[in-house]
Structure 1
């Protein structure tokens, strides 16, 4: 039967696929006692579910190859052994036959009993095996509760999977995206979480806050994920499927139209040129940025070089990566951000800071780099060497006060002197910029501009620090909102200071690539955006429909607003007025037929 589950759109799009639950944490279990005449049929149902779970594990093992198979086979074997464990099976049968438990309730009782035994063990490893019990029992319960029609199973066999989870880690999403994942439905989470950001980058539709997802959806249910409307449809009807096919046709047509903008200038309707840069960290990002007509790279994240190594990357390894980036952009400007690791991730690079209770407010970004000057100098040398191959700027993350920029300049000066003595070719000049993501840096921006050649506003962290709200915490969704007046005032303050100092200011946070915020950012005076390459054409298209000077007139009203709801209402009215002006212009200039 068709069932509609509402949620919050984290990444737009639609997808049709079969549900795949990830560690379902709760089920609706029928606790009514069995009648004597029901026992045999329920035992048979239980055994069918056990057989289905065993078959799934065999199929999973058959799909795995190479290193992944070696890594995961241990867990598959453990789960298979549990499914064949005589004590587990005998206990289940006794609960149904003697205790008159229904299969779902019997499975839950066995899980709770075995989990209590494992939790009471002293050995930490054995205690952790409780997770295997949970996963195996949940797999059987899922098989037991599956309700798919023959027709749905035919469709599901031809489509990929939609992940149903309480939440999903970005690393897991990245792995699954390369293996046929079509979309994500999460019962918790926020549209501003790291996972949501990644979903948008991967063009994966995603819903968050779908409260009843895990209790309502079962493995292999056919799901129509509609992130355009903010809903997931379980057991979609023919009418739903027709709507999905219509969306596919429209999306393909829109994709072809946007593709024609790849080499078009980025210009507002009233003729103001805007620069669109790309955020990047890997070679495919560079190719994508060039293909979509980016004006350069506004933020190149160097962390991946450190995180993918056991230990620290050498100067030559870093130099090759930065050189290839510069050459890949074919003479367009490139902004390389120095190492931006938080203390929670620094351990992977061998730069751990012990005993930090709050890594988000700890030794991270430039603070970490200055704490390890030898490591930082190696990166600086690599950047200086690569800067001979094309225009390069250097962006320093997590700047709080001018002293940090002065210290970084000193290290660059010393590294330049070393390289000169080694007869290494060097660029004549290298622009040094500060990332504005700490409220103190935004408030004190005039003093920073005395030492910075340019600025880049990092709204992801700036919003978190200004609002004291974790963007991944769905309980704070009403607080973590990019339309909050306090955040708008800080952004406006930084942009104004940059204009007065005649120094460029870009914005490289997530809202830079979200067309829902393009009008607001133009109104505040932003003329340089940096975003994931996949968003470039959408933002270019939106900018072409907006009147920059008209938006700028409304800036004072926006920054005087008292709430994010008031800002949203004002933006809606501004957009309607802009569209009316556009329609009037078209009407006046239309040829008479």
Structure 2
């Protein structure tokens, strides 16, 4: 028996035999064509691109309504395959370097992959896997090595080094009851699709695909991120009980979705959702979200700077799907490393501490204004808020607010209809702003605490670096003090404060955050029912006592052990 720890991205318990998927071994060697064959090689590339695009069209048409997110991903792949810039880059390599179509495609898409992989933003870095998927589809057409999707005859757990979006979507209707993948994070498409399919999944397992063979028994714990290979009888029996409880638990939660997230003594907590794509709104509402507390917009920048209309189209779809519920649009939260040097005029040497998020927006004001114009315009369709990420100084905040005011004046002069007031808030994720939060409260309409970056910047820890990941401690006494001070300052100023980081999706931290005074959570849609179940079992007095206990701890490990014990009483089969 071997236990491997990864990143849980879709809850549930699965127990099944392993179906190991090996990556396509498409080794592309440096090959050249004769000058007289260059144009034929160009036509070969163009024909392969058309065929790969058609393959995706067929796959998209076969997807049901429950996989609208998968369709959106594959549509993006199709658009990239048809992108004139990609075609120009590949064709120039064929004509100028006399490369074969396969080698030229591999070189160009390899450069695209490397550019995305090095980006600081987790969401954008994960898009490097999309590039590999597009490369695989194109090369299989160029080389004539198409493979039919694998069909399973019984329930299996799919194990792979990486699952591309097209692979995941092609298995959607098969007997796949779990995913275990070496790479990826919470924003990978495997994670997003697994949640849409409601299939337990763990990613970031590093080398699980090299440790198993077909037919091994595997347990996937989508709550804790544990994957157990060939469990002993005692462990297997325990997880079978946990699986039965999980099915019962989620069946009960379906009945509770419409119930309020209210404590025994009558304190209601607002639960909103974090989403990446507008298609996720439906999933969020199905899980009981009261609105969207974080709409990440980075996907719109996948191919450069989007124009105003592209922003507006995406936002309008989300607002209309919410049917009067609130939408919080976060402006671009990515670094200059995402874009070609010619877009921003320089190479970004240190994305994590460099020109990213609001800094990039203030530098590239044309890009920023396009997004703001769309956000203000869409406010006529429903309640919208604008949230500014990575504010570190009051000067930055005032500069951004000044631009928002200018954009509103421009739209008014053009006769464009907007809501009279569109609230503007900030993400509290840099310690410098958290420490002067009382001075900032008069400048904004709301706060949203971004615990992912707040913990990283405060503790100087890269949470995806395996050598220091153990130091990423959301319950560190210093972090709890910062969060508590932000909540107190918000309440004193009479403005709303929420948390949109992963911390509030973790059951162990729910009571702690409530006890610190938090009344608004924005979390992964699939986590909402579990968090609501915890809220409905306790009083606010109990939550305050939990927070006081953690604030009095000298080190994070004390709090973690205490929180695990406390939460196990509420969810006994999950801890």
| Common fold: TM-score over 0.5 | yes
Match status 1:452 vs 2:444: yes
Q: Is the 8 A contact 1:7 1:207 kept in 2?
A: no
Q: Which residue of 1 aligns with 2:2?
A: 5
Q: Is the 8 A contact 2:424 2:444 kept in 1?
A: yes
Q: Which residue of 2 aligns with 1:60?
A: none
Give 3-state SS (helix, strand or coil) of 1:386's partner.
helix
Give 3-state SS (helix, strand or coil) of 2:467's partner.
helix
> 1:237, 1:479 → 2: CA distance?
32
> 1:301, 1:229 → 2: CA distance?
25
> 2:502, 2:13 → 1: CA distance?
21
> 1:500, 1:415 → 2: CA distance?
31
Q: Which residue of 2 aligns with 1:67?
A: 53
Q: Which residue of 1 aligns with 2:541?
A: 549
Instruction: Describe the superposition over 1:482-515 as per-residue Cα deviations: whole angstroms up to 9, x where unpaired.
Output: 2222211111111111111111101000112221
> 1:518, 1:185 → 2: CA distance?
27
> 2:505, 2:353 → 1: CA distance?
26
Q: Which residue of 2 aligns with 1:334?
A: 327
Are the structure 2 counterparts of residues 499 and 544 from structure 1 closer, same or farther at C-alpha, using a change threshold of 3 Å?
same
Match status 1:484 vs 2:476: yes
TM-score by length of 2: 0.69
Are the structure 2 counterparts of residues 317 and 233 from structure 1 closer, same or farther at C-alpha, using a change threshold of 3 Å?
closer
Are the structure 2 counterparts of residues 281 and 360 from structure 1 closer, same or farther at C-alpha, using a change threshold of 3 Å?
same
> 1:20, 1:418 → 2: CA distance?
57
After TM superposition, list the pairs within 5 Å mapping 1:453-532 onto structure 2: 453-532=445-524
Q: Is the 8 A contact 1:170 1:198 kept in 2?
A: no
Q: Is the 8 A contact 2:392 2:432 kept in 1?
A: yes
Q: Is the 8 A contact 2:511 2:547 kept in 1?
A: no
Instruction: Describe the superposition over 1:174-226 as per-residue Cα deviations: whole angstroms up to 9, x where unpaired.
Output: 76875866544466899x89799758855554457868745542355453434
> 1:176, 1:474 → 2: CA distance?
32
Q: Which residue of 2 aligns with 1:274?
A: 269
Q: Which residue of 2 aligns with 1:370?
A: 362
Deviation at 1:549, TM superposition (A): 2.3
Q: Please list every run of 5 or more consecutive structure 2 residues that lacks an aligned counterpart in the other structure.
A: 26-50, 57-102, 111-150
Q: Which residue of 2 aligns with 1:95?
A: none
Give 3-state SS (helix, strand or coil) of 1:7's partner.
strand
> 2:231, 2:182 → 1: CA distance?
20
Give 3-state SS (helix, strand or coil) of 2:379's partner.
helix
| Aligned mate of 1:399, from 391, 397, 403 | 391
Match status 1:317 vs 2:310: yes
Match status 1:261 vs 2:256: yes
Instruction: Describe the superposition over 1:547-573 as per-residue Cα deviations: whole angstroms up to 9, x where unpaired.
Output: 212322443442232211111234356
Are the structure 2 counterparts of residues 327 and 230 from structure 1 closer, same or farther at C-alpha, using a change threshold of 3 Å?
closer
Are the structure 2 counterparts of residues 178 and 493 from structure 1 closer, same or farther at C-alpha, using a change threshold of 3 Å?
farther
Q: Is the 8 A contact 2:385 2:425 kept in 1?
A: yes
Deviation at 1:481, TM superposition (A): 2.2
Q: Please list every run of 5 or more consecutive structure 1 residues that lacks an aligned counterpart in the other structure.
A: 26-64, 71-124, 132-154, 581-593
Give 3-state SS (helix, strand or coil) of 2:461's partner.
coil
Deviation at 1:19, TM superposition (A): 3.6
Give 3-state SS (helix, strand or coil) of 2:339's partner.
helix
After TM superposition, list the pairs within 5 Å mapping 1:12-51 onto structure 2: 12-15=11-14, 16-20=16-20
Are the structure 2 counterparts of residues 458 and 231 from structure 1 closer, same or farther at C-alpha, using a change threshold of 3 Å?
closer
Q: Is the 8 A contact 1:201 1:534 kept in 2?
A: yes
Deviation at 1:521, TM superposition (A): 0.9
> 1:338, 1:315 → 2: CA distance?
13
> 1:460, 1:170 → 2: CA distance?
26
Q: Which has the larger radius of gyration?
A: 1
> 2:167, 2:473 → 1: CA distance?
24
RMSD (Å), alpha carbons: 3.9
| More deviation, 181-190/297-306 | 181-190
Deviation at 1:291, TM superposition (A): 2.5
| Aligned mate of 1:296, from 291, 295, 309 | 291
Q: Which residue of 2 aligns with 1:158?
A: 154
Give 3-state SS (helix, strand or coil) of 2:392's partner.
coil
Are the structure 2 counterparts of residues 345 and 551 from structure 1 closer, same or farther at C-alpha, using a change threshold of 3 Å?
same
Are the structure 2 counterparts of residues 284 and 187 from structure 1 closer, same or farther at C-alpha, using a change threshold of 3 Å?
closer
Deviation at 1:228, TM superposition (A): 6.1
Q: Which residue of 1 aligns with 2:84?
A: none
| Aligned mate of 2:416, from 424, 436, 454 | 424
Give 3-state SS (helix, strand or coil) of 1:525's partner.
coil
Deviation at 1:346, TM superposition (A): 3.3
After TM superposition, list the pairs within 5 Å mapping 1:68-87 onto structure 2: none
Instruction: Describe the superposition over 1:97-119 as per-residue Cα deviations: whole angstroms up to 9, x where unpaired.
Output: xxxxxxxxxxxxxxxxxxxxxxx
Give 3-state SS (helix, strand or coil) of 1:430's partner.
coil
Are the structure 2 counterparts of residues 353 and 561 from structure 1 closer, same or farther at C-alpha, using a change threshold of 3 Å?
farther
